[in-house]
Amino acid sequence: MPAPINRRSFLKTTSVAAAAASASSISRAATRQRIRPVVISSGNGLTSKNSDAVSCVQPAFQQMTGGSDVLDALIAGVNIVELDPEDTSVGYGGLPDADGVVTLDSCYMHGPKKRAGAVACLKGVRTPSLVARAVADTTDHHLLVDEGAQRFARILGFKIEDDLNTDRSRALWLKWKRRTDPRHCPDPASRAAAGLQRELLCTGQQR
């Protein structure tokens, strides 16, 4: 049977525990003050730039060190890549699917708020990361796909475009199509040769 605890022992024990907890909080706060944010990106985070020649990582780092929500800061950086017509990985000018349509995916996860949202196969919106954030912040869903994702984006006022291809992304798609399906999508040289062969057959001049 445990020994009874008197009032003096109880106060002494709780005072020590409170002091230890306070010291721990001060230590954690001091550690946080010493930690500087780091923004890690793929190569296009440095090469993709907006009209002010600012790369993806710059506004992300500036907003984080300025006290903004970390995920909001990162999305601000991601938007630069999404809107860069020279980048073919995401957003406007991203490489299209097999049908030549640019379809985009994005996932948003916020640890402290315990929120997550994502869109997949989204068409017509240059900044899918903003739509993914809206899914997390305004719905009880985690993932919206294809027409459902686009309908959600339209309701929230996002601009829906008919085609997110650029001249570059369309040319890259056509090059891929000619390589993978030459029978139905031959390159100009092959098409010209086939036309000449057909003409020779029709005129009886085939050798």
Q: Say what the pLDDT of residue 195 is.
A: 55
DSSP readout, 73-121?
Answer: HHHHHHHHHHT-TT--SSSTTPPP-TTS--EEEEEEEETTTTEEEEEEE
- Taking a C-beta distance cutoff of 8 angstroms, is the pair 62, 90 a contact? no
Q: What is the mean pLDDT of residues 131-153?
A: 97
Spatial neighbors of 174 by CB under 8 A, at least 6 apart, are 185
| Residue 8 banded pLDDT, cuts 50, 70, 90 | low
- Taking a C-beta distance cutoff of 8 angstroms, is the pair 123, 167 a contact? no
Please report how the helices 70-82 and 57-65 are oriented relative to each other, as an axis angle in degrees rounded to 10. 160
Q: Residue 141's CB: how many other CB atoms inside 10 A? A: 14
**In the numeric block, which tokens belong to residue 111?**
């640890």
Mean pLDDT of the chain: 83
**In terms of Cα–Cα distance, which of 105, 112, 90, 92 is closest to 143?**
105
143, pLDDT greater than 80: yes
- Pairing of β 143-145 and β 103-110: unpaired
Q: What is the mean pLDDT of residues 165-186?
A: 91
| Residue 39 banded pLDDT, cuts 50, 70, 90 | confident
Q: What is the mean pLDDT of residues 37-61?
A: 88
Give residue-wise pLDDT tens across range 83-121: 999 999 999 999 999 999 999 999 999 988 899 999 999
